[in-house]
Amino acid sequence: MIRLLTGAIFAIFLIVLFMALRAETVVPREKPAKIEWLTVEQAFALNQNEPRKMLIDVYTDWCGWCKVMDRETYTDPRVIEYINKNYYPVKFNAEQRDDVTLNGQKFVYVSQGTSGVHQLAASLLQNKLSYPSTVFLDEKQQMIQPLPGYFKAKEFHEIITFFGGDHYKTIAFDKYKTETYPQQFGGQ
């Protein structure tokens, strides 16, 4: 009986020891980094104190390529890091119904039959409604360029660094992609 009791205690000891050792070797997982999206009002307010370029992702709920870009491009670690460091990133639903007031100007949703478009989206996209579209504004909230369409992560990284690093002021994009970008970012 004592032998059985000793064996049971030893087994319990081994189980507890195993669990304790296993618990110490578990490394807590870091949450994956993600883009710190803002509303357009938040970005404009932040820009008053700390001017930065703005990247505005204009999307709709029904847009399939918008979802692909969210899933594949906006989750790329290099894209996330660069956007969070160099831009005020904004997600703007082109069909949102809430009014937006910026610099004293009010933008509203305009119904068009069974759907509609928000005036701010139309203004940002220069009435060329295409989704997804990425709009780049400078530190003074002036238009740099709206870019329609889906972009893969590498291609998008080239674009955001082209505008974010002010290269658009001095060099053509094609030359930037083939010469400057590989030098600065290793052509990855």
User: Which CATH number goes with the domain that contains 50?
Assistant: 3.40.30.10
Residues 152-180: pLDDT tens digits? 999 999 999 999 999 999 999 999 999 99
Residue 18 has pLDDT above 90, yes or no: no
User: Smallest Cα–Cα separation from 91: which of 111, 46, 61?
Assistant: 61
Using DSSP's 3-state secondary structure scheme, residue 29 falls into coil
**Cβ neighbours, 10 Å, residue 9:** 10
Residue 9 lies in a domain: no
pLDDT, greater one: 24 or 138: 138
Provide the domain count of the chain: 1
pLDDT of residue 74: 98
| Integer Cα distance of 56 and 137 in angstroms | 8
- Its domain, for residue 147, covers 40-185
| Integer Cα distance of 55 and 69 in angstroms | 14
Supply the pTM of this predicted model.
Answer: 0.82
Residue 186's pLDDT band, with cuts at 50, 70 and 90, is confident
Residue 123 lies in a domain: yes
Residues 60-79: pLDDT tens digits? 999 999 999 999 999 999 99
Residue 29 lies in a domain: no
E runs forming strands in the chain: 53-59, 87-93, 100-102, 105-107, 109-112, 115-118, 133-137, 143-148
Residue 66 lies in a domain: yes
Q: What distance lies between CA 96 and its chain's CA centroid? A: 19
pLDDT of residue 3: 58
Residue 30 lies in a domain: no
**Residues near 51 by beta carbon (within 8 Å), at least 6 away in sequence:** 139, 140
